[in-house]
A and B are shown apart, each in its own frame.
Chain A
Amino acid sequence: MVKSAIPVGLKSMKKNDVKLLAALLGLALVAFLGISLYSQLTTKEPQAVVRLDGKEWGRYPLSEDTVVEIRQTDGNYNILQIRNEKAEIREASCPDKICVNHRPVRAQGESLVCLPNRLVVEIENGEDTGIDAGTK
């Protein structure tokens, strides 16, 4: 006679085994929920990401109207305004004002660029227009 090697009931398990199993399952559940929630929080909301010289400086959700002054140590600045779920540069210290003249941006991948100040404001998780890059 061959006996089944698989335990058939909780009754035959030791109390500690049950605790261990419950703890592991609980841990797994928490980890799973945590990771899902985290990725939900960090990827879904449309936001304006400010980068200076390629390095992230800050991120601002498009859902909240705000005005941010991005001032650099050399005194140069750009003032980012978020209004009606769009981001724009309201004012800047640069001579050419290309960034100020640019239309407000809101869609995925759209960006505001200020070359003299090495600033890029890029929209992440915005409405997907299917455009990967722009030519101007």
Chain B
Amino acid sequence: MKKIYQAGILIAAALVFAGIACIQFRHHKPQRYEGQFFGCFDTVTTVTGYADSQQDFSKKLELLQDKLVYYHQLYDIYHTYDGLNNLKTINDNAGVQPVEVDAEIFHLLKLGKEMYDKTEGRLHIAYGSVLSLWHEYREEGLKDPLHAKLPSQAEMDARAAHIDIEKVILDEQSSTVYLADAQMSLDVGSIGKGYAVQKLAAYAREIGMEHALISVGGNVCAVGSRADGTPWRVGIENPVLDSDKPYLAAVELSAGCLVTSGDYQRYYEVDGERYCHIIDPKTNMPPRYFASVSVQADDSGVADALSTSLFNMEYEQGVSLVEEMEDVEAMWVGKDGEIRYSSGFKVDEEK
């Protein structure tokens, strides 16, 4: 009989522990995690996703980081990397020789040229000579704000003589790129990040992430919905930074991307005037039409390119471009705070 009592006690104890384990286990269905890393595209990357454990999620995050580092290096115009022909290699060989490149450079430049045509030159991947001029002045101006200066008209004109996109020669067969003007250079700052995020989202699926939200510096791409089937909600930040209202609107995403271009974060000041990092190829100056423009599209490369382009053109021209394109919507925020939408832009709720 004693043995039966003991067995009974053990069973009772086991049941209690099993109960506790059950209660705890309830919280252990794939949990939501968030992770960040720096070092890619001059910004911070945030990934929200689901995994069985922090360890599991960290592993996936590391894979994503490796992938994005690869794209970062390909599209880098400031550094060279051992054994890698990147955009800097192409720029360094401008007027010298064609450079054989990875398919991911080739495809990006092709998309860049397409978007140049679609946006009548507002999206300009061969605009490096002028952009680098502004970049130098902005960096100097941020380091020494009291002596911040603008590039002179003469300097801008001289640089703008070397921005002919027809001189970006893509040879599909040999997979080479040649810049037929020694003083021209590529700068894919307005499209490369978006293109890379699109690829990163596809890669996330490959490594088993069915539900994730990837933001590379506010370039947001959804991989599926949230795990519970509801869409992700992405807030469009309020350009007025001293306002209490963090977001102007929220957009629901179960796929596709949302990208914003704005002048309220990255800028420098000269004599009390702000000059943002986006430069309009038509004027060689920072545009002053809007505080921000957000674009929702299936493809993040397209969304990135368009948000820059729309930022560089008046609303009327921009909205007709958006309406022409399929699966593309946009929201414009004026300098005075006025918000305008394209016809199919769905705002979930203003927050």
Which residues of A approach B to under 8 Å, CB–CB? 5-7, 12-14, 17, 20-21, 24-25, 28, 31-32, 35, 51, 53-54, 95-96, 98, 101-103, 105, 107, 110, 113, 115, 118, 120, 129-136
Contacts and interface: CB of A to CB of B under 8 A. Distances in A.
Nearest to A20: B9
Contacts of B218: 134-136
Interface stretch (B74-82, B198-206, B232-240, B310-318): B232-240
B220 A135 contact: yes
Interface stretch (B38-46, B102-110, B176-184, B185-193): B38-46
A12 B4 CA distance: 11
Contact of A132 (B6, B20, B233, B351): B233
19 contacts: A7-B5, A14-B2, A17-B5, A24-B9, A25-B16, A28-B13, A51-B36, A103-B243, A110-B246, A113-B44, A115-B43, A115-B44, A129-B246, A131-B351, A132-B232, A132-B233, A133-B235, A135-B237, A136-B260
A12 B8 CA distance: 12
Contacts of B12: 21, 24
The 9 closest A-B pairs by CB, nearest first: A136-B237, A95-B142, A24-B13, A131-B235, A135-B260, A136-B218, A134-B235, A135-B218, A28-B16
Given A28-B20, A54-B36, A54-B37, A135 B258 contact: yes
A102 B258 CA distance: 21
Interface in B17-41: 17, 20, 23-24, 35-38
A117 to B, nearest CB: 10
A135 B215 contact: yes
B118 interface: no
B38 A131 contact: no
A21 B7 CA distance: 11
Nearest to A105: B246
Nearest to B32: A132
Given A21-B9, A21-B13, A54-B37, A133 B351 contact: no
B122 interface: no
B46 A133 contact: yes
Contacts of B244: 103
A130 B233 contact: yes
B242 A120 contact: no
Given A98-B266, A130-B250, A135-B234, A54 B20 contact: no
B111 to A, nearest CB: 21
A133 B232 contact: yes
Nearest to B307: A135
